[in-house]
Amino acid sequence: MNAIPRIQPHGDWLIGVLLFITVLFAYTIYSYRKLMWKAILSGFFKQYYISLQREENEIYKKVSARLNFISLLVLALFIYLWLNKTNLHAPLWYLKMNGFIFKGFSLYLLLFALLTFLVFLQITVIRFLAFIFNTQNEAKEHEFNLWLIYKLLGVYSLPLVFFIAYSNDTIASFLLYFSLILFAAVLLRRYFIGFKLGLSMNSFPKIYSILYICTLEILPIAILVKLYKTEIQTILSF
**CB-hemisphere CA count at 13 Å for 118?**
20
Q: Which of 28-37, 54-63, 68-77, 221-230 has the lowest mean pLDDT?
A: 221-230
Contacts of 82 (CB under 8 A, 6+ apart): 176
- 1 lies in a domain? no
- 196 lies in a domain? yes
**Residue 74 pLDDT exceeds 90:** yes
Count of beta carbons in the 10 Å neighbourhood of residue 128? 11
- 6 lies in a domain? no
Top-confidence residue, 62 or 71? 71
**Residue 236 pLDDT exceeds 60:** no
- 41 lies in a domain? yes
**Residue 232 pLDDT exceeds 50:** no
pLDDT in tens, 100-158: 677 889 889 989 998 999 899 888 888 887 787 777 777 787 788 888 888 888 988 99
**Residue 73 pLDDT exceeds 80:** yes
With pLDDT > 90 as the criterion, what percentage of the chain qualifies? 18
Among 131, 6, 152, 130, residue whose Cα is nearest residue 68 = 152
- 197 lies in a domain? yes
- 220 lies in a domain? yes
**Residue 166 pLDDT exceeds 80:** yes
Residues 156/172, Cβ–Cβ less than 8 Å: no
- 224 lies in a domain? yes
The whole-number pLDDT of residue 95 equals 58
Among 30, 66, 34, 79, residue whose Cα is nearest residue 151 = 66
Domain count, the chain: 1
**Residue 19 pLDDT exceeds 70:** yes
d(CA 173, CA 36): 30
**Residue 20 pLDDT exceeds 90:** yes
**Residue 177 pLDDT exceeds 60:** yes
The amino acid occupying position 35 is L
- 2 lies in a domain? no
Residues of the domain holding 122: 12-236
Helix axis angle, 33-41 to 46-53, nearest 10°: 130
Q: What is the pTM assigned to this prediction?
A: 0.78
Contacts of 47 (CB under 8 A, 6+ apart): none
**Residue 16 pLDDT exceeds 90:** yes
pLDDT-derived band at 85 (thresholds 50, 70, 90) equals confident
